[in-house]
Amino acid sequence: MNKWSELFIGLLLLLVAVIVAWFSSINSWTIFGKSLDFLHAAWILLKGGIFWLVFMVGLLLIVLGISDLKN
């Protein structure tokens, strides 16, 4: 694939995702009484990802510290 077409398709997909998330939060999209607020779901996923990243870095530092104590 051409580098310009890859950039264009990536930008287009990013723009579509942002627009869909924005419209789903502005208009109350529901199916069978369940909300399809993609912006809220993305925010929850991001917060969870940040939590697990901090947790794993802390765990890695503890393991490295124990490894250094052994030597």
* Residue 40 domain boundaries: 3-70
Q: How confident is the model at residue 52 (pLDDT cuts 50, 70, 90)?
A: very high
pLDDT for the residue numbered 58: 92
**DSSP per-residue codes, 12-62:** HHHHHHHHHHHHHHHTT-EETTEE--HHHHHHHHHHHHHHHHHHHHHHHHH
Per-residue pLDDT tens digits for 4-50: 888 888 889 888 888 888 887 777 777 787 777 888 888 899 999 99
Domain total for the chain?
Answer: 1
Q: How confident is the model at residue 56 (pLDDT cuts 50, 70, 90)?
A: very high
